[in-house]
Amino acid sequence: MKNSKLLSLSYSAIIAALYVALTWISNVLGLASGAVQIRLGEALCALAYFIPGAPIGLFVGCLISNLSMALSPLDIIFGSLATLIGAYLGSKMKNKWLVPVPTVVANTVIVPIVILVSYTARDAWSFSTYALTALGVFAGEILSAYLLGMLLLLAMSKYKAFNGIKK
């Protein structure tokens, strides 16, 4: 039991560090924030399919990344929560093709609200502004969380070591 908890904690820490490193790469490329976000770290949400501690590691990694980019407090908190919600719900999926879907949905719903509240003048708020922002976030999440995430998930499915830690 003790080794299992230590292993889960270790995986969470590694995932958090990987998320931060990949998001920093995205940030250097100018892709990590804004209306269209292609955070390479979001692909790691697929790890929730195999690793029980992955959602916590992803949340911590996203939180550290958001803090390091000097985003608004709402963006730091709710952006990180969107990743946690998506990864947690993804960990509950039985069909591996659906694992990235909650991450895409959570970020597409939550992040545009945060962007509008944090970075847009109040008189510019409208459904069309929200819809356009959501479309940009959706596009970025499809590329990072779904496409890259599925590539990661399919590649890792071939390794018995990861299939062995699957819940």
pLDDT per residue over 138-167, tens digit each?
999 999 999 999 999 999 988 766 655 655
Q: What is the pTM of this model?
A: 0.90
64-to-19, 61, 79, 124, 142 alpha-carbon distances in Å: 9, 5, 11, 30, 23
Question: Is residue 5's pLDDT more than 80?
Answer: yes
Could you tell me the two tokens for 154? 């399919």
Closest CA to 19 of 38, 40, 33: 40
pLDDT per residue over 68-79, tens digit each?
988 899 999 999
Whole-number Å distance between alpha carbons of 118 and 143: 24
